[in-house]
Amino acid sequence: GENVEQHPSTLSVQEGDSAVIKCTYSDSASNYFPWYKQELGKRPQLIIDIRSNVGEKKDQRIAVTLNKTAKHFSLHITETQPEDSAVYFCAAEDKAAGNKLTFGGGTRVLVKP
């Protein structure tokens, strides 16, 4: 099955700086990679996703890049704001398990004002 590793586990940045979270996956057949954001005490919510037919996707201040050869993908947040403080989870679909998602361990991001 799929194995997803996520780094770092915690990330502290100054407001306005950029934040980068990296994930690696093991199943080369995976072709869907979503990112979920979970604010304190709230439910995880999808913020961006990427499919393997593209290498990069942007949505305002967030972007995701995918390197299928190296089997890693990253989340980039630019011009961070306090409301970006949350736990971010990457995931990859597990082809061997009927496309169900395997999640990384999460990254707690703290944006300091």
Partner 1 sequence: ETGVTQTPRHLVMGMTNKKSLKCEQHLGHNAMYWYKQSAKKPLELMFVYSLEERVENNSVPSRFSPECPNSSHLFLHLHTLQPEDSALYLCASSQDVSSGANVLTFGAGSRLTVL
Residues making contact with partner 1 (CB under 8 A):
4, 9, 31-32, 34, 36, 42-46, 49, 51, 89, 93, 97-106
SS3 assignment, position 47: strand
For the CB of residue 112, give the shortest distance to partner 1 in the complex, in Å: 22
For partner 1, the closer CB: 80 or 87: 87
Minimum distance of partner 1 from residue 17's CB (angstroms): 25
For the chain, where are the E strands, in sequence order? 4-7, 10-14, 19-25, 32-38, 45-51, 56-59, 62-67, 72-77, 86-94, 100-103, 107-112
Which residue has tokens 């995931």?
91
Q: How far apart are CA 37 and CA 45, in angstroms?
A: 5
Minimum CB distance to partner 1, residue 99 (Å) = 5
Residue 71 vs 103, nearer CB to partner 1:
103
Output 5 or 56, the one with its CB closest to partner 1. 5
